[in-house]
Amino acid sequence: MAGGGFCKLPGGNVVVALTLPSPVSEGCRVRVLVHAQNRARALTRLRNLGLRAVYLRGNAEPPSLDEITAVLHHPDGVIWRTAPDDVRELWHPIRALLRSAAHP
């Protein structure tokens, strides 16, 4: 089960944050952030990237202000890093995670 949450921005868009099992290494988790028009579109963006079993139930782990800032400043609007968060680790584009999963 993935933990996650969302935050509605003043302009109406949302930032969705999900903590998911890593597709690269067993036992590890990743924190994924998505900027989209609404929650449904955020989840659709992830499903279209190949993360099929992604659901958001509740708002137990909403994105922090730092996470919101990070995803808003990324051109793709979809980023990740290992969880639990290590502030020394930079955010990565989602393509880096999916590429690693495709070529173990």
Output the CA–CA distances (angstroms, integers) from residue 91 to 34, 67, 69, 88, in the order listed. 12, 9, 11, 10
DSSP state of 62: P
Q: Please state, in angstroms and rounded to a whole number, the distance separating the CA atoms of residues 30 and 97.
A: 9
Output the CA–CA distances (angstroms, integers) from residue 53 to 44, 76, 89, in the order listed. 11, 21, 26
| pTM of the model as a whole | 0.88
pLDDT tier at 1, thresholds 50, 70, 90: very low
Residue 78 pLDDT greater than 60, yes or no: yes
**Domain residue extents for the chain:** 3-102
